[in-house]
């Protein structure tokens, strides 16, 4: 008897990718086999994203397309964030949906699909509990990782307890819950044995790790443990909350050679009035002093941040405050997003919604400003040698593509290298040129300087 087959489409962020990998592991262990084409599958699964309007539109469009082409006997399952957020409303939007399972109970997916397959009634089945915990011993042994080449995302917590006015994550995921330290370390050790060189730690807020279980500076302690694992060369931190970057975290980042000198700290804005409406930390002096403190302790530090423009009530003066901070602090990496109206968030009811054309103009202006800064920051590395992890090759052009410590997977730039280098290798590359987002270089055999 041939194994049952499933097709899984993963949408959204890297944290969703981890959830999809966990779902795949449970499906595989239960006897299913993953396939690459929907037409080959018995079960179609879409791990949806519900964070902002465009992401929801993509999820609905993908579900509708699979429903339209679904063959007799196939089951279509919606999983993930939009399933948790909308529930029965999602089924109303997608005729032909057979089941909806929320993101807080992704680990029940196999049993849920068995229930869906065993039904004779046409109505979709729902499994969307709200007040449940989803981490630790409740994960049914699934790893909370996603491998990409020689790197792997590893989720250390789920949910969020921050009160940001524009965000639906606490509604979708619930409050923050840390994963047990030993589970994380065991996964990291296994990844190292499989040849993974870089661990990318992810959560809605890394800096909150351990707070729910009474551990002070839990992230710092976890990092130190991860750095003791043989075979792991880089440990990268994503999503640090402003105001929660402690002196101990800075000290550990500066001291531990395996911790890449990179931090993603989404500030969201640069004017205190906007930040107060956002329900975000609004102490701009803290931002200036902490960035200065980190750069003093970690001279090679690469700082990535993100900003939202067009938030309700954002004035020209407030936007000017943001552009001033960007000029003053000279961030290495910046992502800029226009505010997305979300009716179910506190910001959805705020007055003075900014017209779309103004928000888009501000985004374009800020990105042009940052492009100049990014080029200048990149030019500082010409003539230096950076360790680079190889992620791709173009045999026709004779080029390899990799990332330095300054480049997180998927969101940052690349190092473009002359010649072909095996995938997954970490090699010293002398930087010969700088672009707005990328660097160019050549592999050297006897580097004078390697920046980790």
pLDDT in tens, 332-383: 999 999 999 887 788 988 999 999 999 999 999 999 999 999 999 999 999 9
Residue 114: is it exposed, middle or buried by C-beta count within 10 angstroms (0-12/13-18/19+)? exposed
What is residue 446's predicted lDDT score, i.e. its pLDDT?
Answer: 61
Residues 280 and 322 in one domain: yes
Residues 161 and 251 in one domain: yes
**How would residue 1 be classed by pLDDT, with cut points 50, 70 and 90?**
low
449 belongs to a structural domain: no
Collapsing DSSP states into helix, strand and coil, what is residue 22?
helix
- 102, containing H or E segment: none
What is residue 171's predicted lDDT score, i.e. its pLDDT?
Answer: 87
103 belongs to a structural domain: yes
* Cβ atoms 196, 151 nearer than 8 A: yes
For residue 168, pLDDT over 90 is answered with no
Residues 353 and 405 in one domain: no
Residues 306 and 256 in one domain: yes
For residue 449, pLDDT over 50 is answered with no
Q: How far apart are the first and last CA of the chain?
A: 51
Residues 146 and 280 in one domain: yes
Q: Kindly state the tokens that stand for 409.
A: 């997977």
**How would residue 136 be classed by pLDDT, with cut points 50, 70 and 90?**
confident
Domain extent at residue 399:
385-443
Q: What is the mean pLDDT of residues 433-442?
A: 97
CATH of the domain at 110: 3.40.50.12160
Residues 237 and 364 in one domain: yes
Residues 143 and 88 in one domain: no
100 belongs to a structural domain: yes
Spell out the residues 6+ positions from residue 81 whose beta carbon is closer than 8 angstroms to its own: 12, 16, 48, 49, 50, 51, 103, 172, 173
Distance CA(205)–CA(176), nearest Å, equals 8
Pairing of strands 302-309, 259-264: parallel
Between residues 135 and 20, which one has the greater pLDDT? 20
Residues 209 and 290 in one domain: yes
In the chain, how many H helices and how many E strands? 13, 20
pLDDT tens readout for residues 239-266: 999 999 999 999 999 999 999 999 999 9
Residues 148 and 234 in one domain: yes
pLDDT tens readout for residues 46-80: 999 988 888 999 999 999 999 999 999 999 999 99
204 belongs to a structural domain: yes
290 belongs to a structural domain: yes
Domain boundary among 379, 401, 435: 379
* Cβ atoms 2, 42 nearer than 8 A: no
DSSP 229: S
* Cβ atoms 312, 340 nearer than 8 A: no
CA distances from 155 to 131, 152, 158 (A): 21, 10, 8
CATH of the domain at 397: 2.40.50.140
Beta-ladder partners of 236: 200
Residues 397 and 279 in one domain: no
CATH of the domain at 211: 3.80.30.20
248 belongs to a structural domain: yes
Domain boundary among 102, 127, 152: 127
Residues 373 and 391 in one domain: no
452 belongs to a structural domain: no
E strands in 225-357: 234-237, 259-264, 302-309, 333-338
The number of domains in the chain is: 3
Residue 3: is it exposed, middle or buried by C-beta count within 10 angstroms (0-12/13-18/19+)? exposed
69 belongs to a structural domain: yes
Distance CA(450)–CA(321), nearest Å, equals 37
For residue 331, pLDDT over 90 is answered with yes
Domain boundary among 355, 379, 403: 379
Residues 153 and 220 in one domain: yes
């Amino acid at each position: 008897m041939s194994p049952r087959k499933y097709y899984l489409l993963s949408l959204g962020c890297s944290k969703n990718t981890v959830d999809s990998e966990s779902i795949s592991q449970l499906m595989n262990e239960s006897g299913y086999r993953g396939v690459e084409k929907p037409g080959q599958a018995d079960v179609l699964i879409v791990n949806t994203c519900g964070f902002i309007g465009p992401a929801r539109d993509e999820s609905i469009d993908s579900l509708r397309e699979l429903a339209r082409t679904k063959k007799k006997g196939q089951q279509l399952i919606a999983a993930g964030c939009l399933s948790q957020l909308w529930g029965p409303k999602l089924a109303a939007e997608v005729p032909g949906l057979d089941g909806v399972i929320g993101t807080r109970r992704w680990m029940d997916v196999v049993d849920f699909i068995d229930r869906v397959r065993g039904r004779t009634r046409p109505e979709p089945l729902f499994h969307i509990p709200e007040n449940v915990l989803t981490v630790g011993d409740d994960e049914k042994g699934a790893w909370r990782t996603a491998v990409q080449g020689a790197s792997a995302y590893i989720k250390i917590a789920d949910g969020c307890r921050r009160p940001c006015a524009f965000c639906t994550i606490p509604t979708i995921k619930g409050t923050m819950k840390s994963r047990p330290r030993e589970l994380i370390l065991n996964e990291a050790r296994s990844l190292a044995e499989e040849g993974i060189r870089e661990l990318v730690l992810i959560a809605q807020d890394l800096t909150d790790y351990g707070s729910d279980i009474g551990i002070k500076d839990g992230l710092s302690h976890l990092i130190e443990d991860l750095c003791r694992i043989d075979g792991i060369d880089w440990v990268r931190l994503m999503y640090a909350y402003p105001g929660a970057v402690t002196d101990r975290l800075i000290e550990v980042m500066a001291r531990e050679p395996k911790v890449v000198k990179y931090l993603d700290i989404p500030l969201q804005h640069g004017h205190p009035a906007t930040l107060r409406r956002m329900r975000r930390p609004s102490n701009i002096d803290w931002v200036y002093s902490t960035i200065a403190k980190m750069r003093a302790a970690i001279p090679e530090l690469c700082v990535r941040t993100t900003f939202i423009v067009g938030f309700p009530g954002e004035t020209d003066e407030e936007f000017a405050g943001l552009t001033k901070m960007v000029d003053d602090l000279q961030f290495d990496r910046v992502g800029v997003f226009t505010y997305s109206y979300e009716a179910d968030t506190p910001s959805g009811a705020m007055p003075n919604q900014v017209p779309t054309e103004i928000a888009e103009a501000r985004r374009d202006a800020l990105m042009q400003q940052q492009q100049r800064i990014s080029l200048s920051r990149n030019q500082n590395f010409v003539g230096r040698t950076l360790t680079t992890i190889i992620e791709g090759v173009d045999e026709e052009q004779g080029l390899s593509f990799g990332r330095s410590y300054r480049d997180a997977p998927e969101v940052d730039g690349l190092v473009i290298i002359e010649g072909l280098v095996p995938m997954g290798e970490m090699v010293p590359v002398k930087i010969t040129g700088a672009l707005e987002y990328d660097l160019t270089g050549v592999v050297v055999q006897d580097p004078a300087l390697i920046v980790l």
